[in-house]
Amino acid sequence: MPKPTFFRLAEAKRARLIKAAYDEFSRAPFPDASISNIIKDAGIPRGSFYQYFDDKSDIFFYLLDRTRSQTEALFEQAMTAHDGDLFGMMGDFFDAAIDKLLVGTHREFYANVFLYMDFHHAAHFSSKAAKSQEPHHKKAFLSYTLEHVDRSRLRAQSDEEVSMLFRQVMWVFMQSIGYYYSRLKAGENVSPASLKARMAKMLNWLEYGAVDAKEESHD
């Protein structure tokens, strides 16, 4: 993660370095990205870079951590807007996350992360950074859910049951993201709108069941 000197930089200089890092990791997957390109675009000497970050993986994980923080904020906003309705808030959260990942300013960066699994390459070179990232985001989402979800709307009541349900709901998102990027890698075009519709359908099945009530009544 950044050294204290990074946070003492003037805001404009810090923003320029962050933008240069996003641009470079958007241009190339992690193994091919270059510190030389980052410092050239940021307009800083190589020595200055190492006053702010230990290495390439350090700044890469910092960008991922920024994404985690922003995503947590989206998650909490959705939970608040839906008064703890798990499925209602997840629908909005998934839509907002899709907009950020697939349509937003840094979509090429996220594509490189998911297509090439850059964080695994980075972890090979920076185990400290990898450990700092590992399960924090999952625990943060789950902890917030356990504290704020409206259990009166659910058949799941205990923390263990809500945790199980939460993981199933999050699987819908992760499976859909994997589906999108695997299709993209195969040269197919999947629009963000169709991906949102796909996730909404799976969430609906999870919330209400996949069995047609009319068919069930005939048994």
pLDDT of residue 86: 96
Domain boundaries, the chain: 57-210
Please report the pLDDT score of residue 219 as a whole number.
Answer: 55
Helices 118-125 and 107-116: crossing angle, nearest 10°?
A: 70
Determine the Cα–Cα distance for residues 132 and 33; give it in Å rounded to an integer.
Answer: 22
pLDDT digits (tens, 9 = 90+) for 11-69: 999 999 999 999 999 999 999 999 999 999 999 999 999 999 999 999 999 999 999 99
CA distance 103 to 190: 12
Average confidence score pLDDT of the chain: 88
pTM of the model: 0.81
- Would you state the pLDDT for residue 132? 46
124 pLDDT exceeds 60? no
Strands, DSSP E only, in the chain?
Answer: none
Residues 6+ apart with CB under 8 A from 103: 192
Residues 130-151, mean pLDDT to the nearest whole number: 75
Query: Looking at residue 38, what is its pLDDT?
Result: 97
State the pLDDT confidence band at 184, using cuts at 50, 70 and 90: confident
